Structure 1
Amino acid sequence: MGTEMPVANLEASRVRLEELKATKGRLGRLVGEARKNGENTEELVNEVQRVAGEIKQLQKLVKKQLNQGVTRKKWVPKPVSIPHAIAKQAQSQPITVEPVGAQNLDAAEAYVAGHPGASIWHRPLVSSFIEKTYGHETQFLCASARDGSIVGVLPLVQLKSRLFGNFLVSMPYFNYGGVLADNPEIAAELLTKAEQWRQELQAGHVELRFCQDNTLGLPQRTDKVSFWLSLPSEAADLWDSFQPKLRAQVRRGEREMTEFAIGGEELLDEFYRVFSVNMRDLGTPVYGKGFFRNLLETLNGEAWLAVVKIQGKAVGCAFLTGYRSRMEIPWASTLRNYNHTSINMIMYWKILEFAVQQGFRVFDFGRCSEDAGTYRFKQQWGAEPVKLYWDYLLPEEKALPKLNPKNPKFRVMIAVWQRMPVWLANLIGPHIVKVLP
């Protein structure tokens, strides 16, 4: 247990101290210029001395606040709890597995809402969003007991193209999906039905996206991770848990930032302007603006856009979702020309503040590869890596799919895309990305 003043008082002193040091440096340069030009420097020198005196007094105050503060335990993030997608409840009734119908759509939504392992992407309305936006074939499989109660679900989407092939995903475009079930036997029934649909469609595989190992005995990929950060009830406690270097980077971004906003469709144009440029720079086809508009509408009240500006220009953006106790950031971008300003640091801090204020208990930074720069970026906030397990239903002896940017097959395409004008990338990209998982 350490000793320190309430964070707000101590942090205010530190911020003021940094401001005074910057002022002293600026005044010192003005004194030098005045002397060089033969001007009177008396007034400037007096101001430098006044600021230096204030700095000295404030340094003493900070030391006193550190040494004589109120004793309290420093908040540290708790280990995250990964909920199980497949429970171990007893099942005495026989079950049937059928695609959801209009008569049990509300019951399916309620089942997802009550399942501890569910994500926002498991919801039937998200499957409907994909079908409406891109016209893909979808099935939302429901396992029902004899009494009519739902005991398991599995959302599936078919992606089919000449370029990338024919396959099923639960869920494409998003980080999570797969089976939700009351027990492994029900999960097996849902997977049997999924395999039947795969064969009917002559699809190459079924991809199931989990954030835990459900020991299904299926071929599996584990090369991706997400990062989850437990959140306190007060943003000041979260701020105090950061390393000094991280706080300094956030303050640097705060000095550069002139505006930050969280909202809805009114921010879509600015969000998309930043997001599409960044995707082009990464060599990745971009979703169309309509994709995000429809998703905001579908997740009404559970999705937000964030935009950060420098001198009136949007230079950073994010798409946020919130479901039950967890806020997720599936997409975020900043313009490369502004990375030196640490604008991404202040954007993420403002988003974390918003998550705490909205009462979320976990913040999900989204997925990345273990060797990527984004891995270290997410880790520095104190977040905990959560390994992702993607299971596959495959024909016998068929290899795991290799639809990822590291595949040599796609390296030339990525290099070409990075040199493409943004307007052309925005025109072509949505037609390509809709068939990419």
Structure 2
Amino acid sequence: MHEASLPFDPAPSRASIAVRSLQGHEHARWDAFVDTCPEATFFHRAGWQTIMQQGFHHDSHFLYAEQDGRIAGVLPLAHLRSRLFGSSLVSLPFCVYGGIAGGSAAVRLALDDAAQALARRLGVGHLEYRWREVPENTQLSPDASWIHKPLYATFRRSLHPDAEQNLLAIPRKQRAVVRKAIAGGLHSAIDNDIEGFYPIYAASVHRLGTPVFARRHFALLRTVFGDACDILTVYHGRQAQASVLLFYFRDEVLPYYGGGTPLARSTGANDFMYWEAMRRASARGCSQFDFGRSKLGTGAYDFKKNWGFIAQPLPYAYKLVRARALPEVNPLNPKYALFIRAWRRLPLPLANLLGPHLVRQLG
């Protein structure tokens, strides 16, 4: 996006608010706001503009509201073009959270006005906000017919500074699996080894029938986010059995991309991996563990509940622009069951070759 600002029709109470588009030299300024904004998440960081543009080749439209010379609110957006599911303007594709962060009700309304105007100009099928929590007193444009679909929940819990207290917070049955894995000699390392992580992750998602991201996606994440992005790997001896890529944001840790070998199920390596993410994050000073989102009715949803996490429904909001209905991008949709079964049967090298071309259209 090349415009320095986006025109909109401000109400009198919003006359001093200007909505602008983030430029490359403003990333530090954007992130300084995000770092102190209570509603902001890791997925509001300016680095995602680089991920969208360089990693996925999607046009980004990172909007911010400026008031009295300061950033007062942000809304990261990307234009997702999919041959399978049409065109959409999303905050933010490939991320579990998004939407407007910060600002007064007038600031949030100004950002929403600008986003809807942009969605109409781009001619997308729909506009999507992936709120984690909708800020109080948020009033979107009164002419907007927003759709809310209860598809996802997130799982978040506080961490105790003491590792034993965190272990005791895990329900007894799940805690026994972790203790068995520890007794079995599993150990972990923060090795940031993409070459070791990628084969485990790729094979794991292939068994689930899911297209995989390109290896370069993870390399770019490490480059863009630096120390805020780690790779933790679980070993038995020298044999890697599970690996996960972690994000850090303020006092939070987010295990985001993870997978295990077939052996990990019997050794408990997958469970031990998440325990080690908790233990190490607590030692690092983190006080919040974000287990990420899962679709209602899935095995991942039940797995996280078994850890004692309480599901928090995600209030995603969708506004139809040109589309008459939202696309059903949902593996629980029966029409995708055949695709999932067929994808699992593909040879892994072929799935790894085709997956990155397909996954960039899913968002």
**Residue in 2 that maps onto 1:195:** 116
State the one-letter code of the partner of 2:270: N
| SS of equivalent to 1:336 | coil
**Residue in 1 that maps onto 2:82:** 161
Shift of 1:303: 0.8
Greater Cα shift, 307-316 or 274-283:
307-316
Shift of 1:190: 1.0
**Residue in 1 that maps onto 2:5:** none
**1:125-204 matched pairs, under 5 angstroms:** 125-145=47-67, 147-204=68-125
| SS of equivalent to 1:180 | coil
Q: Distance in 2 between matches of 1:277 and 1:255?
A: 27
Q: How many residues are treated as equivalent by the alignment?
A: 344
Q: Distance in 1 between matches of 2:117 and 2:171?
A: 52
**Residue in 2 that maps onto 1:316:** 242
Q: Closer, same or farther in 2 for the Cα pair 1:433/1:192, shift >3 Å? A: same
Q: Distance in 1 between matches of 2:118 and 2:179?
A: 53
State the one-letter code of the partner of 1:370: L
**Residue in 1 that maps onto 2:195:** 269
| SS of equivalent to 1:332 | strand
For residue 292 of structure 2, the aligned residue among 343, 347, 366 is: 366
**1:15-414 matched pairs, under 5 angstroms:** 94-102=16-24, 104-145=26-67, 147-214=68-135, 216=140, 218-264=146-192, 267-395=193-321, 398-414=324-340
| SS of equivalent to 1:301 | helix
**Residue in 2 that maps onto 1:428:** 354
Shift of 1:128: 1.7
CA contact (8 A) 1:222 1:387 kept: yes
Query: Which structure would you say has the larger RCO, counting Cα contacts within 8 Å and 6 or more residues apart?
Result: 2
For 1:54-85, what per-residue CA distance to the aligned partner results, in whole angstroms no more than 9, with x for missing partners? xxxxxxxxxxxxxxxxxxxxxxxxxxxxxxxx
Larger radius of gyration: 1
CA contact (8 A) 1:263 1:305 kept: yes
Shift of 1:137: 0.5
Q: Closer, same or farther in 2 for the Cα pair 1:114/1:258, shift >3 Å? A: closer
Q: Distance in 1 between matches of 2:342 and 2:362?
A: 18
Q: Which has the higher helix share?
A: 1
CA contact (8 A) 1:219 1:400 kept: no
Question: Normalization by structure 2: what TM-score?
Answer: 0.89
| SS of equivalent to 1:402 | coil
State the one-letter code of the partner of 1:171: L
Q: Distance in 1 between matches of 2:56 and 2:24?
A: 21
Q: Which runs of 4+ in 1 moved over 4 A?
A: 214-217
Gaps of 5+ in 2: 1-12
Shift of 1:167: 0.9
Q: Closer, same or farther in 2 for the Cα pair 1:105/1:351, shift >3 Å? A: closer
| SS of equivalent to 2:281 | helix
For 1:157-190, what per-residue CA distance to the aligned partner results, in whole angstroms no more than 9, with x for missing partners? 1111322211111111111111113122221211
Greater Cα shift, 354-363 or 305-314:
305-314
Shift of 1:208: 0.7
**Residue in 2 that maps onto 1:40:** none
CA contact (8 A) 2:14 2:106 kept: no
Q: Distance in 2 between matches of 1:199 and 1:409?
A: 30
Gaps of 5+ in 1: 1-90
Greater Cα shift, 237-246 or 344-353:
237-246
State the one-letter code of the partner of 1:274: I
Greater Cα shift, 122-131 or 399-408:
399-408
CA contact (8 A) 1:316 1:347 kept: yes
| SS of equivalent to 2:308 | coil
Shift of 1:315: 1.8
For 1:389-409, what per-residue CA distance to the aligned partner results, in whole angstroms no more than 9, with x for missing partners? 111121388323311112233
| SS of equivalent to 1:181 | coil
State the one-letter code of the partner of 1:219: I
Q: Distance in 2 between matches of 1:428 and 1:242?
A: 39
CA RMSD of aligned residues (A): 1.9
State the one-letter code of the partner of 1:273: P
Q: Closer, same or farther in 2 for the Cα pair 1:142/1:337, shift >3 Å? A: same
| SS of equivalent to 1:360 | coil
For 1:308-349, what per-residue CA distance to the aligned partner results, in whole angstroms no more than 9, with x for missing partners? 123432221111011001111112211234312212122111
Q: Distance in 1 between matches of 2:251 and 2:30?
A: 20
Shift of 1:253: 1.5
Q: Closer, same or farther in 2 for the Cα pair 1:117/1:290, shift >3 Å? A: same
CA contact (8 A) 2:14 2:110 kept: no
Q: Distance in 2 between matches of 1:383 and 1:413?
A: 31
Q: Closer, same or farther in 2 for the Cα pair 1:337/1:196, shift >3 Å? A: same
| SS of equivalent to 2:194 | helix
CA contact (8 A) 1:239 1:247 kept: yes
| SS of equivalent to 2:258 | strand
Q: Distance in 1 between matches of 2:304 and 2:101?
A: 28
For 1:355-387, what per-residue CA distance to the aligned partner results, in whole angstroms no more than 9, with x for missing partners? 110111110011112322222321233323221
